[in-house]
Chains A and B, each alone.
Chain A
Amino acid sequence: MTAGMDCSEVAHAAEFSLVARRNNSLSTTGRFLVFAFLFVVSVGIASAFAALGAWMVLPFAGLEMLVLYLAFRTVDRHAADYERVAIDGDRVEVERHEAGRTQRFEFNRCWARVIASGDGGRLALRSHGRELEIGHYMNDAQRLDLARALKRRLG
């Protein structure tokens, strides 16, 4: 859905580690408040009409709130998405967190190769015919930086 640019190179236990996060301009609290506001307005209006006898507004307001809830939940589930690339010893680790699930990919440092397009539009790691695209939440310049950093460290 969206891409972020909160990239930080962290020097911790691993030799190299970089986390890129999705861009969110609205906090979880903000999302909750917006939803609560829209819910109160919409259901309030519908209930007032129901009290006046026009109850058929209510199911439509409910349906709409359901769609709105699903939309906001989808956004919320993806709010914490991140991608972490780390080099530790002879392993290259890619950790991808998406919609609450975390996937881990491992490459052998000696075999992994960096595939990068010249404009930074695409960046991937390849090993044994397996290719994994990385740099989802980065812009072109950041991808190029990452490509350089990885190339330096990988065979």
Chain B
Amino acid sequence: MEAAHAHHGHGDHAHHPYGIMRWITTTNHKDIGTLYLVFSLTMFFIGGLLAMGIRLELLEPGMQFWRPEFFNQLTSMHGLIMVFGAIMPAFVGFANWQVPMMIGAPDMAFARMNNWSFWLLPVGATLLVASFFVPGGATAAGWTIYAPLSTQMGPGMDLAIFALHIMGASSIMGSINIITTILNMRAPGMTLMKMPLFVWTWLITAYLLIAVMPVLAGAVTMLLTDRHFGTNFFNAAGGGDPVLFQHVFWFFGHPEVYIMILPGFGIVSQVVPTFSRKPLFGYSSMVYATASIAILSFIVWAHHMFTVGMPAVAQLFFMYATMLIAVPTGVKVFNWIATMWKGSLTFETPMLFACGFIFVFSMGGFTGLVLAITPVDIQLQDTYYVVAHFHYVLVAGSLFALFAGVYFWIPKWTGHMYDELLGKWHFWLSMIFFNITFFPMHFTGLAGLPRRVPDYNMQFADFNFISSIGSFGFGLSQLILVYVVVKCIRGAGEKVSDKVWEGAHGLEWTLPSPPPYHTFETPPVVK
């Protein structure tokens, strides 16, 4: 970001390289945050392009554009790229920019490792995208890469496995860095229960990452050895168990879901009080709710597998545990609404996205409750109902929270206000097209359309047509975001004050906008 050049740090810190080498060698948390965000935006558009490919084929019944095997590659890679390339790195980008500034630390604890964590990502992403061009194409076993289908895949699967390893290593290093930074580098007076909620949610997210990333690494390695080195972890013919893969994968996969949403909760918990001009309602219950969600996330994984045929006792256990998650999640939603209650509300773009988040995320939460009921889940598992459910929590949840965060902090990062009118357009178009795309999927799923199929019976034609049109609109609307961000970085838009927002609270708002290259080299004192 050019703005970062404007103010050089002190003394020996001022000698950082310029041009491309600056970005490759940088150990500055703000530079690395920017790199993460630019990377994830790029992956967001690549993943989005694949989604457009999916919806194009599903526009009408019959096979129009792709072969079924390429369609499966599109769905699989759309999932992998969005999860590991877009959403997770975007939140790490926010953590890099914001955590040090919010706790009064000069940088991340391990600046060099921070640089490595980032630069592993483009390597992993390149492997993923390159897998489209190897013989047999990319992996077509779904983002869940269930064995033994994934053992059948071509070399594209191996590339995906390596990519997951690399991106997983990046996540582990990133989360170790974040945990050390948050725990050890808080400014004097910044006790744990005074930390901004975004920092809290990231602390818990980093803990989840440390707990489950080795599980993913183990799962894909076993897949790799099953594929090439004659092991039989998941190969029934050799005495293995295909269902074991699902247990291992979802033991990682369910906490992963919370890894993708908890920092979003954090962002919304910063935005809502700011534009309500009121302190966050129930701060400590927010912290406890986040922690409870994190703990519960380890005992619900098998609700993704109700149809594999578990004993009734196991189904009951996982159903009850899953339903229990509704309690802390509900507490969060109630707290946000109580924060807005009797506030003095204004609706700048970050607040619009935060309100949109609360609304659509809750809808995803409600369908999650429907899916928690085992008998209903057995009917709806692997249908478009599930597709609707997780897009409500991930697109409207994580993604809207990310958008809220971008509009909330970009004036601070660049020193310039974004284009409010375009921001509002971005919100309303995203919101409307999102619902046009995904709401009808509830109906097709209920009526019996399985997911991951390239073609369907005529009875689903109308809703699929609507979904496709909505998705094209949603995809195009995202170009507004790029335009707004680029405009902001180039310095168009009026200069903003240090505080930027009238209701803003927190250490980052005491710094100049844009903040100098080095901030809080010595910690402020928090009272």
Chain A residues in contact with chain B, CB under 8 A? 1-5, 23-26, 30-31, 34, 38, 41-42, 45-46, 49, 52-54, 56-61, 63-64, 67-68, 71-72, 74-75, 117, 119, 121-122, 133, 137-140, 142
Interface centre among A3, A41, A56, A72 (most CB of B within 10 A): A56
What is the total number of residues of chain B having a CB less than 8 Å from a CB of chain A?
48
Interface CB pairs A-B, < 8 A, 7: A49-B251, A54-B233, A57-B215, A61-B218, A71-B180, A138-B522, A140-B522
Asked if B184 and A45 make an inter-chain contact with CB atoms under 8 angstroms apart, the answer reads: no
B225 interface residue, CB < 8 Å from A?
A: yes
Asked if A53 and B233 make an inter-chain contact with CB atoms under 8 angstroms apart, the answer reads: yes
Asked if A67 and B176 make an inter-chain contact with CB atoms under 8 angstroms apart, the answer reads: yes
Asked if B184 and A4 make an inter-chain contact with CB atoms under 8 angstroms apart, the answer reads: no
Asked if A25 and B186 make an inter-chain contact with CB atoms under 8 angstroms apart, the answer reads: yes
Asked if B523 and A4 make an inter-chain contact with CB atoms under 8 angstroms apart, the answer reads: yes
Asked if A38 and B207 make an inter-chain contact with CB atoms under 8 angstroms apart, the answer reads: yes
B6 interface residue, CB < 8 Å from A?
A: no
Given contacts A3-B522, A23-B188, A54-B233, contact A117 B11 (CB under 8 A): yes
CB-based nearest B residue for A41: B211
Contacts of A45 in B (CB 8 A): 211-212, 214-215, 251
Asked if A3 and B11 make an inter-chain contact with CB atoms under 8 angstroms apart, the answer reads: no
Chain B residues 68 to 93 lying within 8 A of chain A, measured CB to CB, are: none
B399 interface residue, CB < 8 Å from A?
A: no
Given contacts A3-B523, A60-B217, contact A42 B188 (CB under 8 A): no
Asked if A142 and B218 make an inter-chain contact with CB atoms under 8 angstroms apart, the answer reads: no
Q: Which of B176, B179, B190, B222 contacts A56 (CB 8 A)?
A: B222
Query: How many residue pairs bridge A and B at CB < 8 Å?
Result: 135
CB-based nearest B residue for A123: B11
CB distance from A123 to the nearest CB of B (A): 9
- Pick the 5 closest A-B CB pairs, nearest first: A121-B10, A57-B218, A139-B522, A60-B214, A25-B186
CB distance from A145 to the nearest CB of B (A): 13
Given contacts A23-B188, A121-B10, contact A42 B521 (CB under 8 A): no
Asked if A30 and B183 make an inter-chain contact with CB atoms under 8 angstroms apart, the answer reads: yes
Asked if B184 and A2 make an inter-chain contact with CB atoms under 8 angstroms apart, the answer reads: yes
Contacts of B10 in A (CB 8 A): 117, 119, 121-122, 140
Q: Which of B113, B210, B522 contacts A5 (CB 8 A)?
A: B522
Given contacts A41-B211, A67-B173, A71-B176, contact A24 B218 (CB under 8 A): no
B352 interface residue, CB < 8 Å from A?
A: no
CA separation between A67 and B117, bound complex, in Å?
13
CB-based nearest A residue for B240: A53
Asked if B221 and A60 make an inter-chain contact with CB atoms under 8 angstroms apart, the answer reads: yes
Contacts of A68 in B (CB 8 A): 176, 210
Given contacts A5-B188, A56-B222, A140-B522, contact A42 B183 (CB under 8 A): no
B447 interface residue, CB < 8 Å from A?
A: no
Chain B residues in contact with chain A, CB under 8 A? 9-12, 105-107, 109-111, 113, 172-173, 176-177, 179-180, 183-188, 190, 207, 210-215, 217-219, 221-222, 225, 233, 240-241, 244, 247-248, 251, 521-523, 525
Asked if B176 and A53 make an inter-chain contact with CB atoms under 8 angstroms apart, the answer reads: no
CA separation between A155 and B168, bound complex, in Å?
58
CB-based nearest A residue for B172: A64
Given contacts A23-B187, A67-B176, A121-B11, contact A4 B522 (CB under 8 A): yes
Asked if B233 and A71 make an inter-chain contact with CB atoms under 8 angstroms apart, the answer reads: no
Q: Which of B173, B180, B188 contacts A75 (CB 8 A)?
A: B180
CB distance from B48 to the nearest CB of A (A): 31
Asked if B233 and A23 make an inter-chain contact with CB atoms under 8 angstroms apart, the answer reads: no
CB distance from A131 to the nearest CB of B (A): 12
CA separation between A1 and B107, bound complex, in Å?
8
CB distance from B208 to the nearest CB of A (A): 10
CA separation between A4 and B522, bound complex, in Å?
6
CB-based nearest A residue for B248: A54
Interface centre among A38, A52, A54, A58 (most CB of B within 10 A): A54
Given contacts A3-B522, A139-B521, contact A52 B247 (CB under 8 A): yes
Q: Which of B11, B173, B244 contacts A54 (CB 8 A)?
A: B244
CB distance from A137 to the nearest CB of B (A): 7
Contacts of A138 in B (CB 8 A): 522
Contacts of B177 in A (CB 8 A): 71
CB distance from B3 to the nearest CB of A (A): 20
CA separation between A64 and B105, bound complex, in Å?
25
CA separation between A90 and B357, bound complex, in Å?
67
